[in-house]
């Protein structure tokens, strides 16, 4: 059960990153097939064959860039737009509290274990980037933004120190004695 939950938690983040990369690369000029700008012509329209070919190309790109465990669930959609809309509804909730909660839990429970310090750091950074994307800073005023960012940095410093092995306990304590606390990157 834990492996299934881990897989389900990873899928939205990895899917989001894969689809973002796909969009950055421009879908070969065919992004209109997922934005809805390219409308399905009637089958009798002279442009139908070309539209269908382009749509199948986009559909295939999408299928090739999602986790293999999801392919059977999404391959039945008739158009790239229908597939895209389904993925957006299922995985696109940028403010889903459950996902944000799970990410915070994952960051708090992460332990270095057999990983190198660099691997542990990279895992935490990936989680933090996803949290920042899903739960952006809500502050409007410059001073509030800075206070919020400082608090987030402090929490991330604590998460990093919790994650690294206990054999580094003396170093952790030295870091926590500093006033002001160093940034998570400096630590």
Identify whether residues 50 and 102 lie together within a single domain.
no
- pLDDT for residue 72 is more than 60: yes
Identify whether residues 63 and 107 lie together within a single domain.
no
Boundary-marking domain end, from 50, 66, 91: 91
Q: For the segment 45-65, what is each residue's pLDDT rounded down to a tens digit?
A: 898 998 898 888 888 888 887
Flag whether 183 is in a domain: no
Q: For the segment 73-129, what is each residue's pLDDT rounded down to a tens digit?
A: 777 889 888 888 888 777 665 556 878 898 999 999 999 999 999 999 999 999 999
Identify whether residues 28 and 85 lie together within a single domain.
yes
Identify whether residues 34 and 110 lie together within a single domain.
no
Identify whether residues 37 and 101 lie together within a single domain.
no
Q: Residue 114 sits in which domain range?
A: 97-177
Give the total number of structural domains in the chain.
Answer: 2
Flag whether 186 is in a domain: no
Please give the Cα distance from 52 to 54 (Å, whole number). Answer: 5
Q: For the segment 3-50, what is each residue's pLDDT rounded down to a tens digit?
A: 444 444 445 566 666 666 655 555 666 778 887 787 888 889 898 998
Identify whether residues 128 and 153 lie together within a single domain.
yes
Flag whether 185 is in a domain: no
Identify whether residues 28 and 86 lie together within a single domain.
yes
Q: For the segment 141-168, what is each residue's pLDDT rounded down to a tens digit?
A: 999 999 999 999 999 999 999 999 999 9
Flag whether 7 is in a domain: yes
pTM (two decimals): 0.54
Boundary-marking domain end, from 60, 91, 122: 91
Identify whether residues 43 and 114 lie together within a single domain.
no
């Amino acid at each position: 059960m834990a492996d299934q939950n881990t897989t389900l938690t990873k899928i939205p983040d990895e899917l989001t990153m894969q689809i973002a990369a796909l969009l950055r690369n421009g879908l070969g000029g065919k992004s209109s097939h997922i934005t809805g700008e390219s409308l399905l012509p009637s089958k009798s329209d002279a442009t139908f064959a070309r539209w269908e070919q382009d749509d199948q190309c986009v559909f295939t790109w999408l299928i090739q860039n999602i986790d293999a465990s999801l392919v059977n669930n999404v391959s039945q959609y008739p158009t790239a737009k229908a597939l895209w809309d389904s993925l957006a509804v299922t995985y696109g909730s940028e403010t889903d509290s459950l996902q944000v909660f799970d990410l915070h839990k994952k960051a708090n429970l992460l332990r270095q274990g057999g990983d190198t310090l660099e691997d542990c750091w990279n895992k935490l950074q990936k989680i933090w980037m996803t949290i920042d994307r899903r739960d952006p800073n809500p502050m409007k005023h410059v001073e509030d933004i800075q206070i919020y960012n400082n608090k987030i940095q402090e929490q991330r410093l604590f998460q990093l120190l919790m994650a690294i092995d206990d054999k580094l306990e003396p170093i952790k304590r030295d870091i926590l004695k500093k006033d002001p606390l160093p940034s998570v990157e400096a630590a």
